[in-house]
């Protein structure tokens, strides 16, 4: 048994399965920016910059991990089952939760929403268009399945040629749907239009997944110094900022890209920049923890009332702040969001693990100093017992 553990194949597989802290930190930064963008209490310029890359970042990271773990070598059925449990089971469960929350507001606060709003949400869920933030999961699921098949069957140069040509398909498809498909006429046409839009999202998903795949392979083969990687990362972030403001406000959710080459250039440059920078930053616990559980933060921060509760808390606290109310409102808002999401992470991992496709409660790693304090306390307790 020891010889098996010492074998090169075992060591390589074990290295592939280990989490990359710097990628978790990138995801932690990304999900924080998503939450900040959804708070709507930031300037239009910041929203323009955030929208240019914060959702494509997660597709790029998924493509990076696909290459790092050699997922294309896995058998198809186990891979399909694993990805379905990780993405589509949360999609269906949280669709039901969101619709349940809407029904609560329908009867408790009828002035907020009406039955037409709930019917539209049901059609969005059934068409895989996705209610609110849930659009991301079907796009990633089908994008990864396409990536799996393309990597196994096509040459790499052909993949990137197809990605270049496919970059314009979503914009053309949205224009055709808006022109020839009157989605407001009846439920069937609305469902069909939502389904077509959900399918069009697969194209940018595959392009960003391929970008992440290429970044991983590039970093594995090309060894650069730390200083050069940091400088390149800073350059990529500056390029993203310039391109983002030149391109204007975009939205991957609704396939609004404006200038298509600018959009993909800005999103990929920001993702590459963050990955390069975080490779050489000490992995602090909080962003790594948020990145490890970014799916829960994504699913709960908006439609599970964490955001609205934090806003009400911040507004209530402002009554006791004599000065700098705007600044203190943001401080209270984001602190309340952080506390609320940490609570949601613990609750979902401990009691609602099935909601995210897990079979058993998920273990969570606390900060290192908590473990140190616990070990000291445990050691003293054992000495007292003896």
* 8 A C-beta contact, residue 210 and residue 67: no
Q: Is the pLDDT of residue 77 over 70?
A: yes
pLDDT at 2: 42
Sequence spans of domains, the chain = 2-281, 305-386
Pick from 157, 159, 136, 127: which is nearest to 146 by CA?
A: 159
pLDDT bucket at 122, cuts 50 / 70 / 90: very high
Q: How far apart are CA 254 and CA 135, in angstroms?
A: 10
Would you tell me how many other CB atoms lie within 10 Å of the CB of residue 311? 18
58-68 pLDDT, tens digit each: 999 999 999 99
Q: Give 207's Cβ-side CA count (13 Å radius).
A: 24
At residue 251, the 3 state secondary structure works out as strand
pLDDT at 81: 95
Q: How far apart are CA 290 and CA 295, in angstroms?
A: 9
pLDDT at 378: 54
* 8 A C-beta contact, residue 239 and residue 261: no
Q: Which of 185-199, 236-250, 312-326, 334-348 has the lowest mean pLDDT?
A: 312-326
Could you give the dihedral angle defined by the CA atoms of residues 363, 368, 374 and 380, in that order, rounded to the nearest 10 degrees? 140
* Phi, psi of 302, deg, nearest 5: -105, -60
Q: How far apart are CA 331 and CA 329, in angstroms?
A: 5
| DSSP run (H or E) holding 58 | helix 56-68
147-190 pLDDT, tens digit each: 999 999 888 778 888 888 889 999 999 999 988 888 776 888 89
* 8 A C-beta contact, residue 203 and residue 167: yes
Q: Which of 71-80, 148-157, 200-209 has the lowest mean pLDDT?
A: 148-157
Q: Is the pLDDT of residue 16 over 80?
A: no
Q: How far apart are CA 132 and CA 220, in angstroms?
A: 36
pLDDT bucket at 240, cuts 50 / 70 / 90: very high
Q: How far apart are CA 176 and CA 29, in angstroms?
A: 36
pLDDT at 320: 80
* 8 A C-beta contact, residue 348 and residue 355: yes
């Amino acid at each position: 048994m020891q010889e098996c553990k010492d074998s090169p194949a075992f060591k390589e597989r074990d290295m592939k399965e280990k989490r990359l802290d710097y990628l978790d930190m990138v995801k932690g930064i990304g999900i924080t920016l998503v939450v900040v963008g959804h708070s709507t209490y930031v300037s239009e310029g910041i929203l323009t910059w955030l929208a240019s890359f914060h959702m494509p970042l997660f597709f790029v990271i998924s493509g990076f991990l696909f290459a790092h773990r050699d997922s294309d070598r896995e058998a198809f059925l186990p891979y399909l089952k694993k990805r379905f449990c990780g993405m589509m089971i949360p999609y269906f469960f949280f669709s039901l939760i969101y619709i349940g929350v809407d029904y609560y507001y329908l009867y408790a606060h009828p002035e907020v929403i009406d039955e037409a709003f709930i019917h539209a949400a049901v059609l969005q869920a059934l068409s895989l268009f996705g209610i609110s933030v849930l659009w991301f999961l079907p796009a990633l699921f089908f994008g990864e399945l396409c990536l799996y098949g393309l990597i196994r069957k096509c040459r790499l140069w052909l993949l990137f040629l197809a990605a270049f040509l496919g970059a314009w398909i979503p914009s053309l498809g949205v224009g055709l749907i808006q022109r020839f498909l009157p989605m407001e006429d009846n439920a069937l046409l609305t469902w069909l239009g939502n389904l077509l839009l959900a399918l069009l999202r697969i194209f940018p998903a595959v392009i960003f997944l391929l970008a992440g795949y290429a970044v991983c392979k590039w970093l594995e083969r090309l060894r650069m110094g730390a200083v050069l990687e940091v400088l390149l990362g800073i350059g990529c972030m500056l390029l993203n900022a310039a391109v983002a403001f030149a391109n204007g406000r975009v939205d991957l959710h609704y396939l609004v890209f404006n200038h298509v080459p600018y959009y993909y250039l800005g999103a990929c440059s920001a993702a590459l920049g963050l990955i390069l920078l975080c490779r050489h930053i000490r992995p602090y616990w909080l962003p790594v923890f948020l990145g490890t559980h970014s799916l829960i933060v994504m699913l709960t921060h908006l439609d599970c009332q964490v955001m609205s509760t934090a806003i009400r808390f911040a507004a209530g606290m402002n009554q006791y702040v004599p000065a700098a109310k705007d600044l203190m409102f943001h401080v209270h808002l984001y602190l309340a969001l952080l506390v609320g999401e940490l609570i949601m992470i613990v609750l979902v991992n401990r009691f609602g693990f099935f909601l995210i496709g897990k079979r058993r409660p998920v273990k969570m790693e606390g900060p290192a100093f908590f473990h140190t304090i616990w070990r000291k306390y445990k050691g003293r307790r054992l000495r007292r017992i003896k």
